Structure formats: C-alpha cells, structure tokens
Amino acid sequence: MGNKRDLLLCLLVLMVAMDGAIASHKWRPFNRSCFPPGFIFGAGSAAYQIEGAALEDGKGASVWDILVRQHPERIVDRSTGDVAVDFYHRYKEDIMLMKKIGLDSFRFSISWTRILPKGKLSGGVNPLGVQFYSNLIDDLLANGLKPFVTLLHFDHPQALEDEYGGFSSPKIVDDFVDYADFCFKTFGDRVKHWVTMNEPNGWSLGFGQGLPPSSTRPYILAHHFLLSHAAAVNLYRKKYQASQKGKIGITLVTTWFEPKFDTTADHKAASRARDFLFGWFMDPIIYGEYPKSMQPLVGNRLPKFTEAESKLLKGSIDFLGANYYTTNYAENGPSNTPFLPTDARVNLTTEKNGVPIGTTTDVSWLFNYPKGLRDLLLYLKKKYNNPTIYITENGVAEANNASLTVKEALKDSTRIRYLGGHLKYLLKAIQEGVNIKGYYMWAFLDDFEWNSGYTLRFGFTYIDYKNNLRRYLKYSAYWFKKFLLN
C-alpha cells in the first residue's frame, strides 16, 4: 500500500463496487495497490492436466494414466493427458508468458510417478523426473516467480492402487510420507510453500477418479487422506522447516452454501452442507475430530481417530488453500448431488423461484457469484480461528468452441468480469480481517480438464489444439497484467 490516501481511495472504489455502481472510471483505480504489501498474485495448474510426456523419460503410470485407457467413456471427449499441452517440453516458453503478465508465483503439482515410477523409494528414483522439476523450479526463481508446490493433485501411483488399493488402505500413509520426504529433501531449499494434496474432500467422493460415491468408501478414503497429510506435515516440521524456513498446508474445495429459503430447516441444511464438504477435513485439521453434525448421521461408518492421530492432525497446517468457484442453494431433503455424501441429507440447487443464483457460464455447475467468496472467507475466519489462507483456485471456463477463430476465442470477457468481481469481494474480506496472503487464478493454461477433457477452457492462455499447441494470451491475461502493474 502506498499511503493512507491510496488506502482510502481503494476503500472508496470497493464501496462503490459493492453497491453495484460503475467502478471503472480511470480516476477510481482498482489494482494490486489496493491489496496489502507482499500479497501474492499467481496462477495455477496440475501435473496431469498440463505436462503431457505421460509415457516418457521413465515416468510410471498414475491412476489417471490408467483411467483414461480403461474407461475412456468417463471422459466427455474420450481424450487423455498423454500430451496434454506439453508443458513438460515447453515450460520455459510458458514461464516467459507468466513473466509477461507479471505474476508473482506459479502453483503447480509434482507427479508422484515421475519422481518414483513404482510409487515407492524401494522401486527406484527416476533421475529425469527429478531433473525436470529441479529445472522448472530454478527457471521460475530465475524469472522472479515463487514456486507454490502441490505434492498430490489426483494422480497417485497406479502401482500402489494395484498393490493395496491406494488411499483405501492405511498402507498409503508411509508411502506418501516417503514421497513427501524425498521432495522436501530434494526441492525444499528452493520451495517455500508446500501443499500436501489438492481437494481430498472432493476426491473422496470420486471427483478425482471419476468414481461414484458409495456409503462407506468416501469416509475411508478421507480418513487415509487426512492421516497421510498429518504425517507429511509432522515430518516437514520436525525434519526440514527450521532449516528450509518454508510453510506447509492443504488445499480444500470450498463451495459456499446459502439456505434456499429462510427457514430453520434450510439454515441447518446449509450448515450440514458446509460440514460434509469442507468441515469433513477442516474440523479434524483444526480441532482433531470430525464435525459433530456428521457423527450421528454417518454413525459407525465414520472412522475414529486414535488419541495420537487426533493430536497429530490438530493444527497440522501453516495455511489453508481454498478453491472457490461458485455458490449453491441448500435445502433440507434427500441428497441429490455427487458433491456431497448422501448422509448429508441436503438438496442442492442453483436457482430459487426460477432465478439463477448468479450469472450463468458455459460450465453447468459454475455460476458467477463473487459475494459467496466473501461469505465463505468470513465463515472460515469465525469458525476456524482466522487461519492464514491462500485462494489456490478461482476461475471460470469457456466452452471449447471449434467454430470460433483464435482471434475470437481470445476475447474472454466472461473471465474478466468473473475475476474482477471476485477480487473485489476478496479485498472486502481482507478489510474485514480475514488473513488472506495470496490469490491464484485457475488456470494459467487451457488444459485437460479431468472428466471434461478438452471441452472446457479455464486458462489465461489459449492453447491452439489444431496448430501444434501454440500459445496465445487471452484478453483476461492482459487485463490481469494491467491490474498487476498499478
């Protein structure tokens, strides 16, 4: 922040914006100077979504490498991440684009099987994989970009799935810790922000693997995700944090839920929805136990933590990574969605009395409702003792419309409106005392969007899939560049 005058000006802009008035006059700037000193602005990605080289240079098979082959019908366009957008070979070019925009940081994930092809240290280390990530980190730092690294983003080793069922078995804890240990030891001298895993709360319900939820499996998976996270954090804090001086956390998906109607039943339903999606992981991490609302509804299918496990989990983050995209209405009634376990007994909708909750987008479940981000952040501040937060994902997609020319497709006004609105409400939350340290737009590049394949484009950077994956910055990237320059 430059001075008190700048702060007052930013607050004035924010007040005008919150009232829905025009906030784009040149004499009323809204830009990075409105945010606290040292606030990080970046963009994100995930290994399987962008790297490609899935079968090259000694990389082992992840569960996604196998899923797209064994169940191609689960991917809308029956595509794979074998080549993706070829970040593995083009990362230097992409870093130059990040620098051109003026990003402070790049969030990426490490592919477990590119480092340990068999999933275990005993199965051997892949030196070419280690060299790739080391080079990537060095090149980011050389260009003034902080690496923000996720250890696991949906792509755990197929070898461990075959051996003992992956995260359905407690055996995964030791193997995940060994993998994390290797990464801390090898890259921790340069990486100062670690995320143990991305969206394990959504993954437990089958989002990450395209699997339908069952009555017991989600809770078993979640339990082992939590234990793996806590064990990795414990290792980092005991063995590396003092010398490497980094921070470690976890990233959770954080849809906001509004009661559909102003009734006691719907207010309780919205609260249950928050507990069954977010509190499912955050309560153990902060308080050492599952949410009290979950315990009677799930009963003996909800695993129990031992006293030692509870102690290890409690306080096991230096920061929370929050992925926010949209808001839903929550209504008391039978669960109707894969976004929550059926035990939650919540009916989710995106409209009330025929009116959508926010502006519609090309993504069926994603409505532009930026106020939900502020509401979510104030809720986290109050319920979880104001943790340090990074917004690790926030963004919107266009449909991959083959009828558009590249020039036409670069004009992503929907994304500019989405990001501008969310950044304003993010600033409002900061002014209201929420401890937010950074914001990562999703995604830096158009990519393989999991079960949607290449049918959606979430990126700042347009990928021309018809022309050798050529890169073009979209209008939103230049808008963000201007935002960051001031």
How many CB atoms are located within 10 Å of the residue 372 CB? 24
* Secondary structure (DSSP) of 442-458: S-SB----GGGTTSEE-
* Secondary structure (DSSP) of 63-97: HHHHHHHH-GGGSTT---SSSTT-HHHHHHHHHHH
Among the listed residues 186, 203, 187, 117, the one whose alpha carbon sits nearest the alpha carbon of residue 149: 187
Among the listed residues 115, 125, 109, the one whose alpha carbon sits nearest the alpha carbon of residue 193: 109
DSSP 343: G
* Set 161, 258, 393, 449: catalytic member: 393
Where helices occur in 74-171 by DSSP H, the ranges are 87-101, 112-115, 127-142, 158-164
Q: How far apart are CA 392 and CA 426, in angstroms?
A: 13
The DSSP bridge pattern shows strands 461-464 and 193-198 to be: unpaired
| Positive/negative CA dihedral, 281, 282, 284, 289 | negative
Structure tokens at 289: 């136990």
Amino acid at 371: K
Q: Would you tell me the crossing angle of helices 127-142 and 172-187 to the nearest 10 degrees?
A: 50
393 in active site: yes
Beta bridge partners of 14: none
Q: Give catalytic residues, as residue numbers.
A: 393
